[in-house]
């Protein structure tokens, strides 16, 4: 019998605000151009904080140092059938959203495949563009950030076995 265990995709997202504007990326998806927070999947051998810093750099060319956890989010996204997704798909995402310090910009860095551009938007512009968000979590994370929701990074623990193959049990 197949393993029917529920396994959401683990993702990270950076909620980056500067002078009242939020940094988003416009990216190509099977559903067309969509807006997203700088975000991506957790890779093997990295912590959630490391994944967030890496994804932000890859998608925006900005260094990013997460300083607080904004929230942990679970969302189910059902994609309709399309040429890009012939049988559609039903994916759940477990997202860890972080805020922190925006660092240096590398103007010579090539952005990840699929990233068209970065944008700085006001909260009102983010709300008005909700129909073009890649995920329903894009706006929710920003709204939670705006209310001041923050948790210390100490609530997260990464066991050494994540980094060291010999310590995995």
pLDDT level of residue 78 (50, 70, 90 thresholds): confident
Total count of domains within the chain: 1
> Counting Cβ atoms within 10 Å, is residue 80 exposed (0-12), middle (13-18) or buried (19+)?
exposed
pTM of the model: 0.89
**Each residue of 105-155: pLDDT tens digit?**
999 999 999 999 999 999 999 999 999 999 999 999 999 999 999 999 999
Q: What is the CATH number of the domain that holds 96?
A: 3.90.79.10
Q: Is the pLDDT of residue 168 over 60?
A: no
Range of the domain at 60: 9-163
CB within 8 Å of 153: residues ≥ 6 apart: 49, 66, 67, 68, 69
Give pLDDT, residue 4.
Answer: 79
- Number of Cβ within a 10 Å radius of residue 94: 15
Instruction: Tell me if residue 165 falls in helix, strand or coil.
Output: helix
* Region 42-55 average pLDDT: 97
Residue 126 located in a structural domain = yes
């Amino acid at each position: 019998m197949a393993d029917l265990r529920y396994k959401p995709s683990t993702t990270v997202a950076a909620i980056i605000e500067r002078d009242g504007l939020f940094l988003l990326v416009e990216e190509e998806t099977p559903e067309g151009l969509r807006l997203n927070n700088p975000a991506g999947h957790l890779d093997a051998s990295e912590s959630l904080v490391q994944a967030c810093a890496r994804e932000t750099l890859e998608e925006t060319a900005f260094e990013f140092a997460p300083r607080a956890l904004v929230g942990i989010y679970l969302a189910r996204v059902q994609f309709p059938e399309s040429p890009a997704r012939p049988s559609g798909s039903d994916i759940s995402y477990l997202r860890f959203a972080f805020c922190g310090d925006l660092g240096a910009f590398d103007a010579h860095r090539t952005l990840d495949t699929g990233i068209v551009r970065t944008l700085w938007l006001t909260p009102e512009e983010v709300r008005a563009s909700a129909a073009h968000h890649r995920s329903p979590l894009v706006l929710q994370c920003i709204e939670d950030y705006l209310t001041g929701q923050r948790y210390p990074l100490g609530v997260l623990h990464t066991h050494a076995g994540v980094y060291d193959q010999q310590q995995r049990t």
